[in-house]
Structure formats: structure tokens, C-alpha cells
Amino acid sequence: MDAFSSMIIDAVDKVKNAVVKIDVYKNSNGKFKAAGSGSGFIFSSDGLIFTNSHVVHGAERIMVGLLNENEIEATLVGEDPDTDLAILKIYTDGYSVAKLGDASHLQIGQFVIAIGNPYGYQHTVTVGVVSALGRTLRTQSGRLVDNVIQSDAALNPGNSGGPMINTEAEVVGVNTAMINGAQGLSFSVDIDTAKEIATQLLRDGKVFKAYLGVMLQEVTINPKILRHYHLANKKGLFVASIEPDSPASRSQLQEGDIIISFHGKPVNTMHEIFKELTKREILSAVDVSVIRHTELLNFTVSPVTQHK
């Protein structure tokens, strides 16, 4: 067998026992009726499972199917519709735990593998490459999700909530969405964001994230500009668009700006700005530095609590 196939088979083999099928039910006239399905994966030895918020939202009963065909009822620990993430818990054994990786090491062109249950076919594997990183995505509900990995691994509706893994069998993303009408594009919330969300859900049962109202894209900054202004950055966050009636729209931020510093810290990645926005003290006037054309500008923006 060729080396590439062996690598994919080995990676899938290490993770497959941690991937689960999720079936949700709603009560109709005293009977539970099937109301959709998706995927998830076990990420802790005490039975915690990542899936998508849209898979389990509003469910009155959640059943988790393991690879050994055991079906167990799960409890919902918490969910965050803004990042489309949810955490479930099961009380059983006979599963393995997926190893969580580090999305900051991902590179465009790198192979990734998606595992899930599209259309109820258990454990379907697709392979693709990372097409883009550090993007903001508008979900079907209209919300903006930061830190999205774009790949060309084929995802179908039942893949929602399954893991995106690298060839070392580490989870680098939670598969979340296909864009309706787009060919060959699929999206995953990067695992660093997912870990941050999990910490808050497990600690507080809910997520705090301040809202700016910008669609961002990580970009490389011209080395001449870095040298001219003695900047510590290598990258910045390009403002692709600004939401109307948002904190960003009420500030001096403009589309086309490249954010290089936020809340007194240089920002190279979406994850760095995301972490700042999960701190409650951020709900005040925050200093922002941007490159506009070749100028370095400083002003303030005032994040607000996320609209629900």
C-alpha cells in the first residue's frame, strides 16, 4: 500500500472509537420523534463530547451511538450558538478519547481528514487540504464565527459536529458547516477556540464573548511597514467588512484596515483577539491600532455583550 493511504488509515484508526453518532428527539403528543442527527467526538476520559449547537439545540432527548453500537442517552452540559459548539456528557465505558491538537500550527495546503456520519452512514471518512485559515464565517443563523478553518474535505449534513483531524490523528477542528450553494467548501471551528469555549461552558454553563461586529481575515503585513513602525507583528487582521449598527461601525475602524494591536497587545491571529473578547473587563473603551494604507493609526472601540 502507498505511504499516503497508510498515513490516513493509521490516523483514522486512532480516532474512530472516539467518534459518535448523535440522534436527537423531540416530544410530540407524548412520544419521542426523531428530529435530526449529526456527529460528535469524545474528548475527555469522563465522557465529554464536542458537537455542534445546531445539532442538539432544542432537543428533548439526545442519544449517542458509539462505534460498538451501544446507544446511550446523553445530557447537554452547555452550548454556544455563536460558535456553533455544544458539549454533551455520557456515563458509560467502551470508548476511546480523541487527542486535541493545536490549530495554531496548521498551514494552508496541509492534509486534513473529516470523520462523521453523513446521512446516517456511520463513520464516513473524507480527506482534503486546508484551503484558508483565520477567517470569520457567517453561519446560517446570521451569526459571525471567528477562527474558522476552510478546507475542501467533503462534508455532508450528518458530518456536523465531527472531528477534523491532521495526519498525526490530532483533532484540529470541529466540523461545523457547509456554505449552501458553495461547491467544495467546508468549515470547521478551530480547536483552540473550541477549548476556550469548553472551559467556559464547563465552568459557567454559558459563554461570555464581547461583540465587535467585524469580519476579519489573517493577513501578512508588508515587511517595509513592520520595519518603518518597529512593529513586533508578522501578521495582522484585515477588516473585510463591518456590520451595520455595531461597535465597530460606531468607531473609526474602516473596511480595509489591518488591526495590529488590540487592548494594548499585538494581535497576529484571530485566536489572540478572540481571547481578549472573552474577558469581561473588555466592555469599555479599548485601544486599537491599525495600518490604513501605509499609515499607523490609533483609536478606541467599545465592545458590547454579544447579541443573543
Q: How confident is the model at residue 94, as a pLDDT? A: 80
The average confidence (pLDDT) of the chain is 89
Q: Is the pLDDT of residue 263 over 80?
A: yes
Cα distances (angstroms) measured from residue 71 to each of 23, 45, 202: 10, 18, 24
Q: Is the pLDDT of residue 116 over 60?
A: yes
Q: How confident is the model at residue 87, as a pLDDT? A: 97
Q: How confident is the model at residue 120, as a pLDDT? A: 56
Non-local (6+) Cβ contacts of 88 within 8 A are 22, 40, 48, 49, 51, 56, 62, 64, 74, 75, 76, 77
CB neighbourhood size of 39 (10 A): 31
Non-local (6+) Cβ contacts of 281 within 8 A are none
Q: How confident is the model at residue 307, as a pLDDT? A: 53
Give the percent of the chain with pLDDT over 90: 65
Burial category of 28 from C-beta neighbours within 10 Å (exposed 0-12, middle 13-18, buried 19 and up): exposed
Backbone angles phi, psi at 31, to 5 degrees: -120, 145
User: Do 174 and 189 meet the contact criterion of CB atoms below 8 Å apart?
Assistant: yes
Least confidently predicted of 10-14, 115-119, 140-144, 273-277 = 140-144
Residue in 53, 61, 54 with CA at minimum distance from that of residue 27: 61
Residue in 246, 259, 261 with CA at minimum distance from that of residue 213: 246
pLDDT tens track for 3-28: 989 999 999 999 988 999 999 999 98
What global pTM score does this model have? 0.85
Residue in 22, 12, 42, 38 with CA at minimum distance from that of residue 118: 38
Whether residue 46 lies in the annotated active site: no
Q: Is the pLDDT of residue 119 over 70?
A: no
- Candidate list 23, 84, 146, 190, residue with the active-site label: 84
Whether residue 54 lies in the annotated active site: yes
| pLDDT, average across residues 139-144 | 68
Q: In terms of DSSP bridges, do strands 170-178 and 99-100 run parallel, antiparallel, or are they unpaired?
A: parallel
pLDDT category at 222 given cuts 50, 70, 90 is very high
Backbone angles phi, psi at 97, to 5 degrees: -115, 130
| pLDDT, average across residues 98-126 | 86
Higher pLDDT, 278 or 142: 278
| pLDDT, average across residues 56-74 | 90
Number of helices (H) and strands (E) in the chain: give both, helices first.
Answer: 5, 21
Q: How confident is the model at residue 219, as a pLDDT? A: 92
164 Ramachandran zone, left/alpha/beta (phi>0; psi -120 to 50): beta
CB neighbourhood size of 274 (10 A): 20
Residues counted in the chain: 308
Whether residue 84 lies in the annotated active site: yes
User: Do 165 and 153 meet the contact criterion of CB atoms below 8 Å apart?
Assistant: no
Type of residue at 126: T
pLDDT tens track for 147-202: 889 999 988 777 889 999 999 999 999 998 656 655 667 889 999 999 999 999 99
Q: How confident is the model at residue 308, as a pLDDT? A: 47
Burial category of 184 from C-beta neighbours within 10 Å (exposed 0-12, middle 13-18, buried 19 and up): exposed
User: Do 24 and 36 meet the contact criterion of CB atoms below 8 Å apart?
Assistant: yes
- Structural domains of the chain, with CATH: 3-89 (2.40.10.10), 101-204 (2.40.10.10), 210-305 (2.30.42.10)
Q: How confident is the model at residue 110, as a pLDDT? A: 96
d(CA 144, CA 215): 7
- Candidate list 37, 54, 190, 271, residue with the active-site label: 54
Q: How confident is the model at residue 138, as a pLDDT? A: 73
What DSSP string runs through 66-118?
-TTS-EEEEEEEEEETTTTEEEEE----S---PEE--GGG--TT-EEEEEE-G
